[in-house]
Structure 1
C-alpha cells in the first residue's frame, strides 16, 4: 500500500517540530518539505547570539541533513511555494513545478513588518544600502559584514527583537541608538513602569534609547547617512536595522483562496477552515482570533496537529495558550505573563520598584489567582509565579511572599516538587518529564541530556533548571561528560593524554591514531583535520600526510567559495609589496578573467572566483608564495609604515613584521593566528586586537599583547611583557605560539585560550620560564620552522592525480553545519 503523501510548506521551527512530533508518533507518510532558505532547520531565536558573537552559526542548527535522510524526508531548500490548488491537491513552486499531496501542512511562519518609511527601499535593489531586516540567518550575516566597516547604527523597534539587535550590534559598531515609536520599551509585554526600568538598564549598557520616536525618512542618496523623526530631529548613522515586529506570513494561503484574517484561520485541530486535508501551524496561523509570536504556543500546536494527523488522538484539541515568558533581553532578565495592568475595580495590584538597581515587579491578582506578572531585573521568583499563573494555584495571603523570600514559597521550585508537564525549556518546548525520561534511559550527564532533548540550546536561561532536574533524576549520580575534555570528538582522550600516547606509540599518521587509540579503530571524519594539525605540529617533516585527513582548503591550498571556486591570496610579508608584484597580479587576474580582486583586512590582495583546475597555473604565473589565507595556521602580520615614514612612529614596525612573517609563515595551529606590529601606541595596525600584537613604545621598547580579537568576538589582548629588542620579540612570539599550539583545544582561538589559562600563568611560562620548558618550546618551534615548505610548489608535482582536477560547480543546496 502506498504511503499517504504529506507535504510541508515551511522548514522553520514550527514545521520541523511538527514533523518531529509526527515521527515520534510513528506517523507513516511520504514526507516532502519545502523551505525558502537554502539551509536546513535552525533556531531563529539564537540569531541574536550569532549577531552578538556569543554563538557560531553551527551551534544554532537543529537538524542536520542526515536527519532528513534518516527519516526518509525529501527536502527542497531555497524553494518557495507560490500557490496551493486544494481541488487538485497540488502545490506549485515559483519555478512552475507541481507536487501532489494527500495531507498538507502550512508552516510559513512570519515576516518582518517594515513600517512605511520614506527612503527605506531603493528602486530595483530592495532595501536602501545600509538598511537591514533582522529575521533570517542571511540577514544576520549581511548585517555583520556591513556593520564591521561602519560606526553608528540605528535600530527601529524597541521590542524583544530590536533590543537584541541593538545589543548585538554593539560588538560591531561604536554607537547604537534604539528608536521606539511607543511610549516605553517592550510595550506588548511590559507596563509603562516596567518598560522605563528596562530602558534605564539598557542605557547603562551604552545603548541610546529614544521612545515616542516615529521614524519618517531614511536619509542618504547612495547609502544611509541618517534617519529623520516625525518631530524633525535627525540622527546620524550609517547602519539601520528594522526590528519593528512581525506579521503572519499568510501570502501563499491568501493567493490560494484559503481563509485568512490576521493569519491563516484554523480550528482546534489546526485544520484550515473549510479544508479537511490542509493544516497550518506556527506564527502564520490565527486561532480563535489570536496570533502568537513566541515559540511555546508553537510546540503546543505541533503536538495537537501530530496527534490528529497520525490518529494517535483524534480528539486532540488546541484551546489556545497562556503565554508566559522568561527571557534575557539585551543582558537584562525579564519575565512577563498574562495581563500587564488591572482591568477590573476589584483586581489586586502588587508593585515593587527599585529603579536604582534596575528592578521592577508587578503582579495582578483576581479572585485570589495570579492573572498577570511583570518582572524586570530580578526574576528569582519566576518559577513559582509561572506555575501559579499556569495552574491557578492558591496564593499566600501575604502577597509580598510572591516577590520575596519571607518564609513563603522558595525562590526556586525544587525539581521534586515540579510537575512532570512543566515546560522547562520554552525555546525548544522541553518538559521536565522529557528530561527525566532521558536520564532514566541511561543518559546521566547534563550535556548529554541537553544534546538529546535540546533543552538549554535556545536562549540558555533554563540551563540551571535543567541541571537541577538531571541531578535529581539521576539520584545524585550525575556523571561528568568525558567528551567535554576530548581534543577531537572521535578520540576519547584529552589533549595532553593524546599527545603522550602519540609519542609513546610513535603515531605519525591520522589513520594510525584511529587504529591504535580508538576502540575498534573506527575513524571519525570530524576529527581528522584536528588530528592532522596536531601531528604535523608534533612531528614536523616526519609527519605522514594522508590527503583524506585534510579539508578541501588544505588539499588544494586555497579557500573554497560558496560556488565551488577558490580564492588565491599570495604572500605579502608585513603587507609590503612592490610595483612589479602589483603589475604581475594585475596581469594574471586580467589574463584569467578573475571575477573579483579584493583588498583584505590583513593587508593582502585576494583573487576570487578561481576554478580549482586553474590554481597551479595561476600560482606559477604569480611566482609568489602562499599567503595561507585558508588554513588553521599562522596567517599574516599586519603592519603600519613605522618610523621610516610616519612622523609618530617610534619603532620599525614594518621590518619587525616582515621578520615575524618570514620566520613563522605557515605554522599550523589549533586555530588561526593573526599578528600585527604597530610603530606607536596609536595602533594603526590594530595590534591590540590580534592573537599576538606588538606595539612600539618610547625608548626603543616593544610591548607584546596576546589573546586579542576583532571579529565576531571582540577582545583587547592582555599585555604579556615589554622587551627592549626586536630579537626578543621574535623569540617570545615563537615561544607563546608554541605554548598555544601544544595546549589549546582544537579550534580554540587565543582570545579564549588566554583567559582560560590566565595571563599571569602564561607570563610565568613564556617570559619567566617558571616551569623550565622555555628551551623545549623554542626547540619545538625551531623544528617546525625548519620543516616549512611552500605548499604552492605542489603545482609542479601534484600529490595525487586528482588534486587539481576540474570539479563540478556547487549549486545552492542545504548548507547545514553539524549540530
Structure 2
C-alpha cells in the first residue's frame, strides 16, 4: 500500500519537494496536488517575461500536465483546499473533493499585500503576482496610457519595465530613499535609478500615497504632501504576506507564518510546511533558492529510515542574483556598512559598475555587485565556508578586477563546491560530474539532469561555458535540439538541407526521422525559414508552417480580432494616407487607432473576415508588425528640421526600410536612424542602429529593448549612406545564415561574440562581398502580398520619391 501524500499548493516549492521525493523513492508514494490557479506548475520568477512579451504562459511552465500523468500524480487545478481535518487526516476542496492523507504538506505560498488605501477597491488597481495579473496589465495597455507602480523593489521594477514595453507612461512610487533597499545599498540603488530613468521610468521617492481617486475606475492618486498624479492603472508591488489562513483555521501554530522545525514539521503530526508559508527559526524566506533547500530537506526527512540522524534545515544565506530591466545585480549577506565592518569598493561611473565586499574579522559577510556580477559565485562560496581572507589581495577576492589580459574565466577558476545555479543549489562539481558520467552535450540536457538554469535562467550562460570547458567544445557551437520532435540541432538541420538538397518541410521531417509526423509550432516555422534561406529563388514558402499572424498579415489580439499596421517608411506619412486610414477606420468601425513606438498607426479590433478588404481599401503595403522580418526603421527628423542634426536621418531610414522590408530573418529586426548622438530615434537599443556624427555614420548592432535590455555595440564607422547599406547587408546576411531560428541579434552576438562577427562582416573582403551578393539574391525573392494593391495606386508609388514629405510627430 502506497503512502498517501497530499500537497496543498501547486507552486514552485511544493512541486520541487515532490520531485525530490520521487527521485529518492519513485514507487513509495501516491500523490495528490490541489492548486488554486488554473495552471500546472509554472515559474513565477519569469512572469515579468510574459508581461514584457518575451515569453508566453506555455514557455514558463515548469511541469506540464504530462509530467503529472507520467508520475501518476492526481492534480486538481482551480480547486483550493478550504478545510483540513487533522484527526481524520482528510482534506476538503472548494469543489467538493475529499482526499485522505498519510502526510500533508502545506505549500500555500504567499499573497500580495494590498495597501489599505481609500479607493484601493476601484477597477484598475491590481497586484503583480500571477498570470491573471499579467493578462490584466496587457489588456489595460491596449486602451489606457498611464500607469503607476507602488513599490520600488524588484517586483515593482519588473512590472514597470513590462508596462514600458506595453507603451504605457510609467511612474514608480517608493516610500524609501532609494530603490531596492532590501537588496542594495544607497550607492547601487542610486545607480539603478539613473539607469532606469534612462529607460523611461519616472520615480517619486520618499512618497506616501494617501488615496486612490476616481469613480468606478481609478483616474489618479493623491499623496500625503498634497501632490497628485493622474493614472489609468495602479499596480501594487509593496510586498507579500504568507498565506496562512487555512493553516490558522486548521489549528497549526502560527508566528509570522507556519512554524516549522529543522525537518519542516509543523505543530501537528504528519503535517509539514515548505516555502513562503513556512517560518523557520524566526525567518520567512521569499527567494526561490532557500525554498528549494527546504524542499530537499523535507523530502530527505520523509524518505529517510533514520530520520533523527539527518542534520535538517539550518537556514540559508539570503542572496539575490538577477537582472533588473537589463541590469545585472547581485547582493548577499550583510551588505550594509557598520562600525564593525570594512569594505572593498570598486566604482566605475563610465562603465556603470559598482562592487562592494563587506568584511568583518577577516571574513566576507556580505556583498553588492552592480553591472558586473561575475565574481558572485566566489564571494558566495567565501561567505558560506567562512574563509579567512587576511592573506588575500583585492584581486584575489574580486578576480574580475585583475585586468583583461590576465583575467581567467570566472567559471574556469571556480572550485568544484562553488554554486553555479543559486536557485537550485547546483554546484560546479555537480554539473561537471553529470556531463562526464552521463555524456551530456547540451544545456537543456544539463538542465533536465541537474536542474541548473531551470528557475530564473540567469546562470544559463555559465552552464553553457562550463559545458564547453568540460567537453572541450566551443561554447558558441554547443548543441541544442531544435525541439522535442528531433535530436538534431538547428545547425545540423541547415547542413542536412544543404548537403541532401532537401526542398520542402515534409521531406526534411521524413529524411531526418522526425519523432512527430506533423512537427510542432517550434520546428515547422524554423524549417520553413531554413529552406527559404538555403534555396531563396526556388523554395515556395509553406504558409501552413507560418504562425497565424503571418498567414493573415495581421496580429491576432486576445479577443480574437486582429491588428493591422500599414507600412509608413521611416515613420513618414502624408494627408492622403491619413485620409485612407481614417476612412477605413470609419467604415469598419475600428475601435482603437494607436500610434506605435515604431512611428506607424495601428488599427486594432478588425474582424478576420474583413482583413482582405481592409488591406485593399488602404492600398498600402504591410508593415509586417507580425513577422520575423524587418519591422520598422525609426527615424528622427534629421538635419533638415532639427538644429542639432548632422545627417539626413529620414532619407537614410527610408532607403533602409525600402531595401530590407519583407526580408525573412531568424527573429524580428528593428532599426533606427538618429541624425546626431542625442539618439532621439533610440538607435542604441535596436538590432541595427545608425547614428549620425559630423561627416560620418556610426553603425551599432545587437541592441534589444525587451526584458533582456541590451545596448547595441559599435560595429563600424563609415562616411556614406552607400557604405551604411553595404555593411547592414553583410551583417544581416551573416545573421540570417548563422543565427538559430527565433534567436534575436543580441542573443546571437552574445553567443558567438562581436569580434568574430566583425572578422566576417568587415575583415575578409571576398567573404564580405559574397554575403552582400547573397543578400541581394534574397531580396529579389521577396514579394509583398499586397504589392499589386500598392502598385495600382500611382500616387502611392511616387510617395516617398519626393522631398516635400510631412513628418509625423
Provide the TM-score with structure 2 as the length reference: 0.71
- Structure 2 SS opposite 1:282: coil
Partner residue of 1:529?
525
- Structure 1 SS opposite 2:92: strand
Partner residue of 2:629?
633
Q: 1:249 aligns with which of 243, 248, 252?
A: 243
Q: How far apart are the structure 2 equivalents of 1:413 and 1:722?
A: 38
Change (3 A) 1:38 1:628: farther
Q: 1:264 aligns with which of 258, 270, 274?
A: 258
**How big is the shift at 1:267?**
6.0
- Aligned 8 A contact 1:27 1:310 in 2: no
CA RMSD for the aligned pairs? 5.7
- Structure 1 SS opposite 2:279: strand
Q: How far apart are the structure 1 equivalents of 2:337 and 2:652?
A: 66
Q: How far apart are the structure 2 equivalents of 1:537 and 1:498?
A: 12
Q: How far apart are the structure 2 equivalents of 1:764 and 1:696?
A: 24
- Aligned 8 A contact 1:183 1:212 in 2: yes
Q: Deviations over 1:725-762 (max 9, x none)?
A: 6x776666555433432233322333445677777886
Moved more, 291-300 or 606-615: 606-615
Q: How far apart are the structure 1 equivalents of 2:414 and 2:644?
A: 67
**How big is the shift at 1:23?**
2.0
Which runs of structure 2 are paired with 1:153-172 in the superposition (5 Å)?
156=151
Q: 2:451 aligns with which of 454, 478, 481?
A: 454
Partner residue of 2:68?
68
Q: How far apart are the structure 2 equivalents of 1:650 and 1:470?
A: 48
**How big is the shift at 1:39?**
4.5
Q: How far apart are the structure 2 equivalents of 1:286 and 1:529?
A: 48
Change (3 A) 1:792 1:234: same
Partner residue of 2:123?
125
Partner residue of 1:601?
597
- Aligned 8 A contact 2:280 2:315 in 1: no
Q: How far apart are the structure 2 equivalents of 1:272 and 1:111?
A: 20
Q: How far apart are the structure 1 equivalents of 2:278 and 2:730?
A: 60
**How big is the shift at 1:264?**
2.8
**How big is the shift at 1:788?**
1.3
1:111 aligns to 2:111 (yes or no): yes
Aligned pairs, number: 742
**How big is the shift at 1:248?**
0.9
**How big is the shift at 1:293?**
3.0
- Aligned 8 A contact 1:487 1:493 in 2: yes
Change (3 A) 1:5 1:623: farther
Q: Deviations over 1:633-664 (max 9, x none)?
A: 12234456678888988877666655554543
Change (3 A) 1:27 1:311: farther
Partner residue of 1:586?
585
Change (3 A) 1:150 1:683: farther
Q: 1:509 aligns with which of 504, 517, 529?
A: 504
- Aligned 8 A contact 2:441 2:479 in 1: no
- Structure 2 SS opposite 1:543: coil
Moved more, 508-517 or 614-623: 614-623
Q: How far apart are the structure 2 equivalents of 1:540 and 1:466?
A: 36
1:321 aligns to 2:320 (yes or no): no
Q: Deviations over 1:535-561 (max 9, x none)?
A: 213323521444553333334444344
**How big is the shift at 1:12?**
1.7
Q: Deviations over 1:754-781 (max 9, x none)?
A: 6777778867866898125526634543
Q: Deviations over 1:456-509 (max 9, x none)?
A: 4556787899799989xx9x76666796256945474664x7655534432221
Partner residue of 2:332?
335
- Aligned 8 A contact 1:541 1:787 in 2: no
Which runs of structure 2 are paired with 1:178-577 in the superposition (5 Å)?
179=174, 181=176, 195=185, 213=206, 215-217=208-210, 228=223, 244-254=238-248, 260-266=254-260, 270=264, 272-274=266-268, 276=269, 278-287=271-280, 290-307=283-300, 319-328=312-321, 331=328, 333-336=330-333, 351-354=341-344, 358-363=355-360, 373-376=365-368, 380=378, 382-388=380-386, 400-401=390-391, 425-430=421-426, 435=431, 438-439=434-435, 441-445=437-441, 447=443, 448-458=445-455, 484=478, 488=482, 490=486, 492=488, 495=491, 499=494, 501-516=496-511, 525=520, 526-546=522-542, 549-562=545-558, 565-575=561-571, 576=573
Q: How far apart are the structure 2 equivalents of 1:613 and 1:224?
A: 36
Partner residue of 2:20?
21
- Aligned 8 A contact 1:718 1:759 in 2: no
**How big is the shift at 1:511?**
2.9
The gaps in structure 2 that reach 5 residues or longer are 348-354, 370-374, 398-407, 790-809
Change (3 A) 1:227 1:267: same
Moved more, 209-218 or 293-302: 209-218
Q: How far apart are the structure 2 equivalents of 1:648 and 1:469?
A: 48
**How big is the shift at 1:632?**
0.8
Q: How far apart are the structure 1 equivalents of 2:38 and 2:264?
A: 27
Q: How far apart are the structure 2 equivalents of 1:210 and 1:791?
A: 45
**How big is the shift at 1:283?**
1.2
- Structure 1 SS opposite 2:256: coil
Partner residue of 2:403?
none
Which runs of structure 2 are paired with 1:22-171 in the superposition (5 Å)?
22-24=21-23, 25-27=25-27, 31-37=31-37, 39-45=39-45, 61-77=61-77, 80-81=80-81, 84=84, 89-93=90-94, 96=95, 98=97, 100-102=99-101, 104-116=104-116, 118=117, 121-125=119-123, 127=125, 133=127, 135-136=129-130, 156=151
**How big is the shift at 1:673?**
2.0
Q: Deviations over 1:208-240 (max 9, x none)?
A: 9999957354688797988857xx597999898
Partner residue of 1:799?
none
- Aligned 8 A contact 2:342 2:360 in 1: no
Change (3 A) 1:308 1:82: same
Change (3 A) 1:488 1:435: closer
Q: How far apart are the structure 2 equivalents of 1:571 and 1:174?
A: 25
Q: How far apart are the structure 2 equivalents of 1:743 and 1:436?
A: 28
Change (3 A) 1:609 1:108: farther
Change (3 A) 1:227 1:584: closer
- Structure 1 SS opposite 2:315: coil
Q: How far apart are the structure 2 equivalents of 1:176 and 1:10?
A: 34
Q: Which has the higher contact order (CA 8 A, sep 6+)?
A: 1
Which runs of structure 2 are paired with 1:640-679 in the superposition (5 Å)?
660-676=656-672
Q: How far apart are the structure 2 equivalents of 1:438 and 1:509?
A: 38
1:741 aligns to 2:774 (yes or no): no
Partner residue of 2:776?
781
**How big is the shift at 1:17?**
0.5
Q: How far apart are the structure 2 equivalents of 1:479 and 1:664?
A: 35
- Structure 2 SS opposite 1:33: strand
Partner residue of 1:806?
none
Q: How far apart are the structure 2 equivalents of 1:417 and 1:776?
A: 44
The gaps in structure 1 that reach 5 residues or longer are 343-348, 389-394, 795-819
- Aligned 8 A contact 2:441 2:478 in 1: no
- Aligned 8 A contact 1:266 1:279 in 2: yes
Q: How far apart are the structure 2 equivalents of 1:70 and 1:295?
A: 25
Provide the TM-score with structure 1 as the length reference: 0.70
**How big is the shift at 1:681?**
6.9
Change (3 A) 1:250 1:563: farther
Partner residue of 1:814?
none
Change (3 A) 1:242 1:481: same
- Aligned 8 A contact 2:536 2:777 in 1: no
- Aligned 8 A contact 2:464 2:475 in 1: no
